[in-house]
Structure 1
């Protein structure tokens, strides 16, 4: 008989075996596993990353890894990888003049159309719209700073 087989919950009810979660099902990735996965992703985010590769990296089965990962981060491995790729793409859109195809490949995505669909799903606008909007805002901010006197710029720097 398991040690908690006769355990009574706070409402005075004995939970059935199917409603109790084992420790294994409640536990997320431990710190060393999390750090190892993040290191792996930082090196390989620009290539194909499979859940089975991440699971092997931390010595778990793919299903156990996916469950533990989701408990730890609140996102599935797929959603987290896509979030990282979209963040990387956003930085490239803003800080480079690379084409959308180049950015897609730099973010581990197969083609520009797939990249554009994912970006729109996660961000709410196409990569081109996002780039245009943010570059316009950056140019506007830059021109405002150019029009300020040096005293105002120093004040902004001090208050930041």
Structure 2
């Protein structure tokens, strides 16, 4: 497997380290969370090693402190739209599978806890790397809506502000996160129930799925949100010659088209943001709906934009040239 790390996490770790002690990032390249989905894993390990050596592991748990500063990242937007911690856990594990991450986290999620186990197919995740993930999860859960988040490891509650005295006795490959309550963030009103009240059943379903195309939608989940039984929802869709999967596909392709036109995200990142398990599946669906590939769609859109700008410039120049001499 390729040796890489999530660029969002490394960017946040870099930010915390630079603010705490500029010497920690001396000679290391800055990481732009929006430029790519991954960076080389060696960069993360070098930074983690410096932090542990000079400041101890407690600083690693603070990686999620600045998460809100990166909230515009499309990947983080996917997480922010999660209605609960179970959906959030599904998205995170899909991201790791999507990128074929060498180090992964198995999460057993419930409404009030995550039981996390870190594992790898080859090199075992290091103590520092596991602490970083725990810190990131703490910040992510808080940002998405969890209140009173507590970290447990080795049968005890971890004081993340002063973890130096005990943490090396535990490799941190297993830890639990618990919280007192969970109130989902209102992302621009996306979860306002009014968005799924008006209109036909099909229109309400389309609106619902469009709220969070990255979610692994199941017909039972959608039916519950629409106050219908799964069978009733299927009957409504059949009467319009539609299927649940076709509605989900259409919503995902529409969002993919928007991201292709409005961002510089790589195709792989767009595929994840739109709920696909892999890029190949995304390519097939997009071509099935639009008859062109995602790359051709982006190229055509960019070309059209350049032509439009050229015409606008020509009109502007012509108008200036026709002004009377003074």
**Alignment partner for residue 230 of structure 2, among 43, 59, 62?**
62
Shift of 1:99: 0.4
Stretches of structure 2 lacking an aligned partner (at least 5 in a row): 1-197, 320-326
**Alignment partner for residue 286 of structure 2, among 103, 115, 119?**
119
The 5-angstrom pairing of residues 8-47 of structure 1 reads 31=199, 37-47=205-215
1:141 has 2:288 as partner: no
Cα distance in 2 between the residues matched to 1:34 and 1:58: 10
How many residues of Structure 1 are paired with residues of Structure 2 in the alignment? Answer: 123
Cα distance in 1 between the residues matched to 2:297 and 2:205: 30
Cα distance in 1 between the residues matched to 2:218 and 2:208: 11
Partner residue, 1:101:
268
Q: Which has the higher strand share?
A: 2
Q: Which has the higher helix share?
A: 1
Shift of 1:39: 4.9
1:50 has 2:205 as partner: no
Shift of 1:94: 0.7
Cα distance in 2 between the residues matched to 1:85 and 1:50: 14
Name the SS of the counterpart of 1:149 in structure 2.
Answer: helix
Cα distance in 2 between the residues matched to 1:35 and 1:129: 29
**Alignment partner for residue 92 of structure 1, among 252, 255, 259?**
259
Cα distance in 1 between the residues matched to 2:298 and 2:289: 15
**TM-score normalised according to structure 1 size:** 0.66
- Root-mean-square deviation (CA, aligned residues, Å) is 2.6
Stretches of structure 1 lacking an aligned partner (at least 5 in a row): 1-29, 153-160
Worse-matched range after superposition: 30-39 or 130-139: 30-39
Cα distance in 2 between the residues matched to 1:142 and 1:97: 19
